[in-house]
Structure 1
Amino acid sequence: MAFQQAIELLGRRWTGVIFYMLLQKPHRYNELLSSVHGISDRLLTERLRELEEHGLVERHVIPDSPVRVEYVLTEAGRDAEASVATIFRWGSKWFMDETKPESTTE
């Protein structure tokens, strides 16, 4: 089922964060690596390749000196923007930020 495949892909660890960052603007590899706290070099490479394989991200080589590579969402990736933004808002409202301690009531 297409819905399940989409949820499984974007729900993989770090993939949602990477995808959300790319919705904001194209990013270079090292920008993603330094911004996604806790992700390893190997795992970032793996997640970007998965997004490329599914046609959601393209790797753009910019022939500067030195050569730069940016990761950019494809049309299919940009098409998911409304859905991802809705999930982001929903998660922000109903799920606690893991970096904050749980509040307790007595």
Structure 2
Amino acid sequence: MDDFEMCPRFEKAVDMLSKRWVALIVFVLMTGPHRFGEIENCLSNLSGKVLSDRLKELEGEGIIKRTVYPEMPVRIEYSLTDKGTALAPILGEIGNWSTDWIELGIKS
């Protein structure tokens, strides 16, 4: 293992996807376009500031797109790009793995 070298692209991908809330935001958007408040409601412990920051980061990475509809009031929706949609099989496999291996504690 002395010659092992981490692939920089793999490392960047894992770093990006492991940021708190990123994978869950992408997971929510896999069902289709959503407005800010809808995403926030799906992820109950997520603050508006963190959601805003993560959406900007994901947009900057080309994983989501932000569409502004010139209505009154203005409507903004977030959706996955092709790059974001390509994450569906990965998140699906994490879902399969979690079903098989992750146990939830029972609250008393």
- Is the shorter-chain TM-score for this pair beyond 0.5, marking a shared fold? yes
TM-score normalised to the size of structure 2?
Answer: 0.83
Return the structure number with greater relative CO, CA threshold 8 A, min gap 6.
Answer: 2
Structure 1 unaligned segments of length 5 or more: list them: none
Larger Rg: 2
RMSD: 1.5
Could you say what secondary structure the match of 2:106 adopts?
A: coil
Question: Percent of pairs identical after alignment?
Answer: 33
| Cα offsets for 1:26-55 (capped at 9, x unmatched) | 110000111101111110011111111111
- 2:33 maps to a residue whose letter is P
Give the alignment partner of residue 101 of structure 1, picking from 70, 85, 106: 106
Match of 2:29 in 1: 22
| Cα offsets for 1:39-73 (capped at 9, x unmatched) | 11110011111111111011011223321100011
TM-score normalised to the size of structure 1?
Answer: 0.85
Could you say what secondary structure the match of 1:91 adopts?
A: helix
- 2:22 maps to a residue whose letter is T
For residues 10 and 94 of structure 2, what CA distance do their matches in structure 1 show?
14
Q: Give runs of ≥4 in structure 1 deviating > 4 Å.
A: none
